[in-house]
Structure 1
Amino acid sequence: MQRICVIGGSRYFGKLLVERLQSAGHRVTVINRGSARPPVGVEHLVVDRDDEAALGAALGSRSFDVVVDQVCYTPVQAAIAARVFAGRARRYVMTSTIEVYDPATAALPAVPAGTPVPEENVDPSAWPVAMDLPWHDEAYVEAHYAEGKRQAEAVFSRDGSFAFVSVRSAHVLGGGAEEFTGRLAHYTERIRRGEEIAVHANARPTVFIHYQELADLLRWASTAADFTGPVNACSDGLLDVRELAAAVAAQTGREPVHRTVAEGGTASPFSFDRDYAMSNTRAKRLGFAFSHVTDWLPGAVAETVSASATPAT
């Protein structure tokens, strides 16, 4: 049994992670702004993680074996957490993203076309940090999501107050109505209605992960493994946007209608004109076993189709 703090954890795979940690017998504390209550038996601290004084006061004398940070988006947030949890945590696991590898958002080492990107392509210990950028501006943070994550990883990596892990998640699917981004629903709804799907002429493949598998990997990285540094989290198998649409079409009984966008044009979610699919080799070597995307994608699509067909109550 370990004492684990989850920052966020109010929806989707974060909520599932909390449930699975509790079921495994761990003592869990959830920190959020009160947007949702955790399960019965989970300690709940209502506080804004951006308010350093309030966060420290809410924690009091508590200490944790592990902190799992689901909602760190900027280096400023990372710096606050590093100061507050120094001496209060042995291990810190941050949920990061495949977007850190997106060559459209930063000058990154080139990889051969079709080659999954390894963790060392973005080394947080060497990544520059600019604390004076407008990280307090929500619009700026949203527009610079990938850079915010890169710099947050960099702050934690250099701090040294605890063992640090960044879990770089692939595009997350599954869960029907729980999948709040609506990206898979975009395909199910448009294909069912016979509407066009905008795709790049030479759409590049990417990687995905089921929300339950991501919750399992986060639990593993928090409680069953003893590594540090970044680790990529993605199911085996690559899919491009046309293959994803075909999987949706198989569940809806309607053929997708594609419209090719001009270079630089706006396409549907998961249509990429550049390579940055991830390699999951490091996680496998460390002991985590991934499913193949084809194992769970049909079920995820079916859940989304069912959710979109169910009237709201």
Structure 2
Amino acid sequence: MLRICVIGGSRYFGKRLIRRLLAAGHDVTVVNRGLSAPPPVGARHLVADRDDEMALEKALGPLAFDVVVDQVCYTPRQADIARRVLGPRTRRYVMTSTVEVYEDEDSAAPVREEAVDPLTVPVDLDATDLPYGEGKRQAEAVFARDPDFPAYTAVRVAHVLGGADDFTGRVAHYADRIGAGKPISVPAPNRPATYIHVDEIADFLAWAAEADFTGPVNAASHGPLTTAALCAAVEARVGGRTVFREVEEGEESPLSFRRAYAMDNSRATALGFTFRHTGDWLERAIDETLGGVAV
């Protein structure tokens, strides 16, 4: 049994992660602001704003952990607070990062972890309004540069699909436009991207919490998907017809990308995790998310 602290994690794949950790017999503590549904039964729940260093210290009290899984670290300042408050309380730290750390890449070959080295990323601890990918890059850098920080990994998560509780609205956007025959704006050219099912990333994070490897690691199902493949699966579910409109600039549809930065998952595979193929779960993911859409 491990003592595991999950920061955030009250919804989507976070709550699935907590259920897996509890089912495995671990002692789970969840820390969040208490603004969403409570964590699954069996987890200890502490309420604190992670941006408030003193409040976080007070909420944690004397608690110490074997592993911290940080689901909601979005800025270098948040990482800096976590480094001071949580670093001394744990022996392993797992940060949920993102494929968007590679958003400046444009590679025909899947991108490996070394494409973004957190030790070379400039950090601005005062920055509060960073783009998502840049905030994650700088947060990774804060943890990676502290020589006294515990064993640390950043899980760079592919775009997540599936689940009736998908709150992003991305698949619903496609369903609405396809069902109505409205054009879907995509960049020219439109590049494929890597994806992972919501249950698979919960499995991966639970596995990473119990492992001992360090450094960044990509988490993605085999088989990048194009926007056309996603829309074909949606069209099969809701009917209608997919109409693409290429745009040189301006607003594009979600899950369409000008740059190619599909992730290489060979490091995680070599470490022992077995990924599924997107073809094994894409139709089910669309069905789960669009369960309430009339057909």
Asked if TM exceeds 0.5, the reply is yes
- Residues 1:282 and 2:267 aligned together: yes
1:43 alignment counterpart: 44
How many Å apart are 1:192 and its aligned residue? Answer: 1.7
Tell me the matched-pair count.
293
TM-score normalised according to structure 2 size: 0.96
Aligned runs of 1:26-175 on 2, under 5 Å?
26-35=26-35, 36-103=37-104, 111=107, 114-133=108-127, 135=128, 140-141=129-130, 144-159=131-146, 160-175=148-163
Separation in 2, partners of 1:72, 1:9: 11
What amino acid is the match of 2:122?
P
Separation in 2, partners of 1:235, 1:169: 10
Separation in 1, partners of 2:263, 2:246: 25
Separation in 2, partners of 1:118, 1:235: 14
Q: Retained in 2: the 8 A contact 1:9–1:15?
A: yes
- Residues 1:209 and 2:196 aligned together: yes
Separation in 1, partners of 2:289, 2:200: 17
SS of the residue aligned with 1:16? helix
What amino acid is the match of 1:72?
C
How many Å apart are 1:19 and its aligned residue? Answer: 0.9
1:12 alignment counterpart: 12
What amino acid is the match of 1:26?
H
- Residues 1:199 and 2:186 aligned together: yes
1:273 alignment counterpart: 258
Unaligned runs of 5+ residues in structure 1 are none
Unaligned runs of 5+ residues in structure 2 are none
How many Å apart are 1:228 and its aligned residue? Answer: 0.3
SS of the residue aligned with 1:64? coil
Moved more, 248-257 or 197-206: 248-257
What amino acid is the match of 1:67?
V
SS of the residue aligned with 1:308? coil
Q: Retained in 2: the 8 A contact 1:188–1:304?
A: no
What amino acid is the match of 2:173?
H
Aligned runs of 1:286-305 on 2, under 5 Å?
286-305=271-290
SS of the residue aligned with 1:87? helix
How many Å apart are 1:200 and its aligned residue? Answer: 2.0
1:184 alignment counterpart: 171
Separation in 1, partners of 2:212, 2:286: 35
SS of the residue aligned with 2:217? strand
Separation in 1, partners of 2:122, 2:135: 11
Q: Retained in 2: the 8 A contact 1:3–1:64?
A: yes
RMSD: 1.4
Q: Retained in 2: the 8 A contact 1:189–1:308?
A: no
SS of the residue aligned with 1:307? coil
What amino acid is the match of 2:273?
F
TM-score normalised according to structure 1 size: 0.91
Q: Retained in 2: the 8 A contact 1:73–1:145?
A: yes
Q: Retained in 1: the 8 A contact 2:238–2:294?
A: no
What amino acid is the match of 2:279?
T
Q: Retained in 2: the 8 A contact 1:188–1:301?
A: no
Separation in 1, partners of 2:166, 2:290: 12
- Residues 1:245 and 2:231 aligned together: yes
2:244 alignment counterpart: 258
Separation in 2, partners of 1:40, 1:97: 28
